Amino acid sequence: MIFFEPFQLPFMARALAELVVLGALAGTVGVLVLLRRLAFVSDTLTHTVFPGVVIGHLMAGDGGVFWGALAAGVVTAVLLTLLTARRRVSEDAALAVLLTTLFAAGVVLVSRQTGFTSDLTAFLFGRVLTVTEEQLAQTAVVTVLVVALLAVLRRPLLLRAFDPVGARAAGVRVGLLDLVVNVAVALVVVAAVKAVGTILVIALLVVPAAAARSLSERLVVIVPLAALLGAAAGWLGLVASYEASIGYGLRLASGATVVLVLVGLYGLAHAAAFARRRAGLGRARRRTAPDDLDVLEAA
């Protein structure tokens, strides 16, 4: 069957495991990003991790990419928390400065290499089909850490998201919670570097949560639904890229195909939500419309 046949190949099975875990992780963290309206912050983190990826690769090859990205992600999360806490400069301006500075530094570093074009493409857009078992283990560890962190701090994180003033009044350390969220986003980026690169990971963080939010208003439904949509997009995207390549001779980048599938799922979710709202309005109008017999009797 087309949905299972490609994953008999070991490299496709590893890619599937990586994308399913990443999709579920990013979908879960993405709900928090959506609630806090941190899409631009997340986008900044995806770009500012780039120089760490390059430095790690220069120092230790492919094995150093994860650790370089991890160091850059944690440093960036701290810097973002400090900069956005200051009010002398607007948050957007601080994020823009950090994004452009660190991303440009990464491009300068990678341009010093002889294989500049191929290295830049791999760092920015990933190569999920070359994922190793070691990288799978790293992704699994990051997933466990992030999910455990969010589970332990779920109550103060939700209070901070819905009522920041009340959170401060209740004695919640808002700055520390902001750092936790930024670190969680950075860890997702770090885990996704090899699979989808530092650019496309923003789609994994934002699109599943947005699609789930279109289908439900209950947080207890949105979180697992976002994780499910992220994992499903990874599976369907790999199937689509494999079938296009093997069956039709069309070479499609696996990571980018996953993102396009995500966007397609978002479109379907949005259309389903629109249809449901229209149906609900139609039923409401029928219930409130006066019965013809009542109109005649009133006349």
What was the pLDDT predicted at 293? 45
Per-residue model confidence as pLDDT tens digits over 30-63: 888 888 888 887 888 888 888 888 888 788 777 7
Q: How is the chain split into domains, by residue range? A: 5-298
- Provide, rounded to the nearest whole percent, the portion of the chain with pLDDT above 90: 7
**Backbone CA torsion sign across 206, 211, 217, 221:** negative
The span from the CA of 280 to the CA of 95, in Å, is 41
Fold of 5-298: ABC transporter involved in vitamin B12 uptake, BtuC (1.10.3470)
Judged on CB neighbours under 10 Å (0-12, 13-18, 19+), 263 is middle
- For residue range 150-159, list pLDDT tens digits in order: 888 888 888 8
* DSSP symbols for 36-55: HT-HHHHHHHHHHTHHHHHH
What confidence category does residue 295 fall into, taking pLDDT thresholds of 50, 70 and 90? very low
The Cβ of residue 61 has, within 10 Å, a number of other Cβ atoms equal to 9
Q: What confidence tens digit (pLDDT) does each residue in 189-198 have?
A: 888 877 777 7
| 114-145: pLDDT as tens digits | 665 566 677 677 788 888 888 888 889 989 99
Specify the pLDDT at position 225: 92
Structure token digits, residue 225: 């639904």
pLDDT for residue 290 is more than 70: no
Give the per-residue pLDDT at 296.
45
> Is-above-0.85 flag for pTM?
no
Q: What is the mean pLDDT of the chain?
A: 82
pLDDT in tens, 2-22: 778 888 889 889 988 988 888
Q: Are 23 and 233 in contact (CB under 8 A)?
A: yes
Rounded to an integer, what distance in angstroms lies between the CA atom of residue 211 and that of residue 20?
17
Say how far apart CA 205 and CA 32 lie, in whole Å.
Answer: 9
